[in-house]
Amino acid sequence: MKNDLNRALLAQYAPRPGRHALLPELSPQQQLAMLCRVLHREGYNDHIAGHITVRQDDGTYLANPWELTWAEVTASDILRLDDKGKVIEGEWNITPAINLHMDVHGARHDVEVVIHNHPSWGSVWSAVGRVPPIYDQTSALVDTDPVRYDEYRGTVEDGALGRAAADALGQHKWALLANHGVLVVANGIRQAHLRAITLEWRCRMAWRVEMLGGGTPLPADVVQATGQRTDANGFPFLWEAMAREEIRQDPSVLA
């Protein structure tokens, strides 16, 4: 039955020849499920930890459920939340740490997407309290350094601790949370994808370079020029390519 469903979905959403065939039109729930799957492959894979919220035009929020890994979530699993973070649509539960997202959304009306997770390499740099240098072009696809929040006093489902992390983010694009993980915000799915994968790539590349004895970081003006050019709208065709790969691997993400 599942194989039949996957074949039907793949036939429906497979790219067609033509100029506008990069990616079919996806519902907001499908986009969020796709983002979870793609980021899981990039290292955002700490079991069932981590959550993404996406603000909707009607003032509600979409979010991935607490019980599922990012590798298994599908469009039909996505929850809808009210402005307090309470589930108003969906059959799963939401993480107790959702208050962190609500605090960020409340403080940042320019933010549509909030991502929090404990990715493999970002968590290493968070633990040592350092911002990874930029050693290559891919690490420079987003300009500016992540802000560091240097105090870990407990998990962010505590209201005060969640607000402290949100306050530390301020107007920045991303943050390293000491001994914890990362916080990434964006104006949409494509920008969220680019920022999240760039941060993890940057953390991984810097670790490898420094394990070989170090290297020469890119000049600051080159980083700024590169990041400003690509961060505003996402790297051309990248989100679409990664989404197509996910559809090929498991079309049920769209179900």
Higher pLDDT, 152 or 14: 152
- Give per-residue pLDDT as tens, 33-76: 999 999 999 999 999 999 999 999 999 999 999 999 999 999 99
Least confident of 2-16, 39-53, 104-118, 219-233: 2-16
With a CB cutoff of 8 Å and minimum separation 6, the contacts of 143 are: 223, 224, 226, 227, 228, 231
Strand order in the sheet with 174-177: 87-89, 79-81, 61-63, 51-55, 113-117, 181-186, 174-177, 147-149
Q: How crowded is residue 106: how many other Cβ atoms within 10 Å of its Cβ?
A: 12
Higher pLDDT, 225 or 3: 225
pTM value is 0.90
Q: How crowded is residue 145: how many other Cβ atoms within 10 Å of its Cβ?
A: 16
With a CB cutoff of 8 Å and minimum separation 6, the contacts of 131 are: 125, 145, 146, 148, 176
**Alpha-carbon gap, residue 226 to 197, rounded angstroms:** 16
Read off the pLDDT band of 150 (50, 70, 90).
Answer: confident
With a CB cutoff of 8 Å and minimum separation 6, the contacts of 204 are: 43, 120, 121
CA distances from 148 to 80, 189, 219 (A): 30, 24, 21
Which pLDDT score is estimated for 196? 98
Task: Domain 2-10+25-249: give its CATH superfamily.
Answer: Class II aldolase/adducin N-terminal domain (3.40.225.10)
Which pLDDT score is estimated for 22? 87
Which pLDDT score is estimated for 6? 52
Here the tokens at position 50 are 């981590």
Question: What would the mean pLDDT of 84-110 be, rounded to a whole number?
Answer: 95
Here the tokens at position 174 are 């991303």
CA-closest candidate to residue 219, choices 132, 130, 135: 135
**Alpha-carbon gap, residue 222 to 228, rounded angstroms:** 10
With a CB cutoff of 8 Å and minimum separation 6, the contacts of 104 are: 111, 114, 166, 169, 183, 185
Here the tokens at position 228 are 């400003």
**C-alpha distance across the termini of the chain, in Å:** 13
Identity of the amino acid at 214: G
Which pLDDT score is estimated for 17? 45
Q: What does the domain layout of the chain look like in residue ranges?
A: 2-10+25-249
- Give per-residue pLDDT as tens, 1-25: 555 555 555 455 554 544 455 898 9
